[in-house]
Amino acid sequence: MATITEVRTDALVPTDLVLKTGQIKIESEEISTKDLSDIPLPPPSKRPTEVLSVDKGTPDSHVPRDPRLIRLTGVHPFNVEPPLTDLYKEGFLTSPELFYVRNHGPVPHVKDEDIPHWEITIEGLVEKPLVLNFRQVLQQYDQITAPITLVCAGNRRKEQNIVRKTKGFSWGSAGLSTALFTGPLLADILRSAKPLRQAKYVCMEGADKLPNGHYGTSIKLNWALDPNRGIMLAHKMNGESLRPDHGRPLRAVVPGQIGGRSVKWLKRLILTDAPSDNWYHINDNRVLPTMVSPDMASNNRNWWHDERYAIYDLNTNSAVAYPQNNEVLNILSAGPSYTVRGYAYAGGGRRVTRVEISLDKGKSWRLADIEYAEDKYRDFEGELFGGKVDMYWRETCFCWCFWSLSIAIPELENSDAILVRAMDEALGVQPRDMYWSDLGMMNNPWFRVTITKENRN
């Protein structure tokens, strides 16, 4: 009778690059010295200084990048995710060089000497239209620092493309990252322009020049004015000025919503009585009904103009970082158990309240342990990177959590797959089955790691 000596796991995400770290330069005068040991600080980081050969000759030839990032759309535009295990190993906060990137086209070339004169306009349905330069944004408004997880709406799309090709490219499970962002609250800037009563939406537009105009989108004005939602304009990321791929010098950061609402290279804020009519707001970041085929979506533009299908809040999701892709576990030399680990997140400021693991195809479930590093900032008093950390009063959660569960080796040996699902405080739970849609966004069925058993002679 054959004896099983190894358990091989196969995940859907590529994680085959090696983590390399350098040092991060932190200005000591910008950090409160009170209770720093109690909060997560950014991981070691080293700003790339050389343009990669693959980027030379492209419109992004001015942007140094980290070679570890996995390119998902060829050479250009730059759309990348890090290897999932590298991302997980960095911990709660992600270094800028491993932070995922979603670019629709060329990165605006903003020189150092141009940054003080960078301007944004606040216009539309306001009593007092404004033009603010970068210095005014920093000097005339209170600055805050907060940990925020950004997630691309296409995270985990690769699984949908395996079932049926969508119009989107194949994100794995690392289309998300977390950083400490610093800047003023969007609410403070909008209030200084005095929104008119009929204003309902904040339309945002970036400086990136694309085939269909500048990238733009919108969020509801009452969200922007709600301090619990923490929407901000960021000029720093983990204490450093924003890097080119992440919106240098100024971007919107909309916690709890898909990354596509956090406009980079921000230039315009327009208050309106209707959602944005920007081409990218209408034709991207939507979940059309699953019965709408690609042909139907292309031939009937009414599907795209229906605001019911626009995505704002993130849904509940999770993924497994360990076991990593193609990890081999020799059960003869392994210890008594193996610790399965991964991440989970929810949307709209909701907290993940449980993560469950099944080894029997969903017939039974067991609870994983959850670590919410975001909570460590709630009792912190002081400034971090030039912004006040003020989270004690806030009940919303805008970051991922890490989960883990120790499983006995014999149980893994007798299982065909590890299934994972998360649930948030509103009891929003990951579904068993995939909801396929034309753009392949918001994919969040149970995360599955297949176990392949191999015999050794």
CA dihedral of residues 256, 261, 267, 272 (deg, nearest 10): -100
The whole-number pLDDT of residue 71 equals 98
The whole-number pLDDT of residue 332 equals 83
pLDDT tens readout for residues 294-334 = 999 999 999 999 999 999 999 999 999 999 999 999 988 88
Q: Rounded mean pLDDT of the chain?
A: 92
**What is the helix, strand, coil percentage profile of the chain, to 5?**
20, 30, 50
The whole-number pLDDT of residue 456 equals 54
pLDDT at 417 over 50: yes
> Among residues 86, 208, 284, 438, which one is catalytic?
284
Residue 379 catalytic?
A: no
The whole-number pLDDT of residue 428 equals 98
Confidence of residue 455 (pLDDT cuts 50, 70, 90): confident
Average pLDDT over residues 120-140: 98
Average pLDDT over residues 439-446: 98
pLDDT tens readout for residues 50-96 = 999 999 999 999 999 999 999 999 999 999 999 999 999 999 999 99
Residue 397 catalytic?
A: no
> Among residues 79, 103, 238, 285, which one is catalytic?
285
Average pLDDT over residues 124-140: 98
Taken in order of first residue, the domains within the chain and their CATH numbers are 4-13+315-455 (2.60.40.650), 28-309 (3.90.420.10)
Average pLDDT over residues 347-365: 98
Instruction: State pTM to two decimals.
Output: 0.92
Residue 152 catalytic?
A: yes
Confidence of residue 24 (pLDDT cuts 50, 70, 90): very low
User: Tokens at residue 451, please?
Assistant: 């176990």
pLDDT tens readout for residues 162-215 = 999 999 999 999 999 999 999 999 999 999 999 999 999 999 999 999 999 999
The whole-number pLDDT of residue 16 equals 26
pLDDT tens readout for residues 202-234 = 999 999 999 999 999 999 999 999 999 999 999
The whole-number pLDDT of residue 29 equals 38
The whole-number pLDDT of residue 17 equals 22
Strand, helix or coil for residue 169: coil
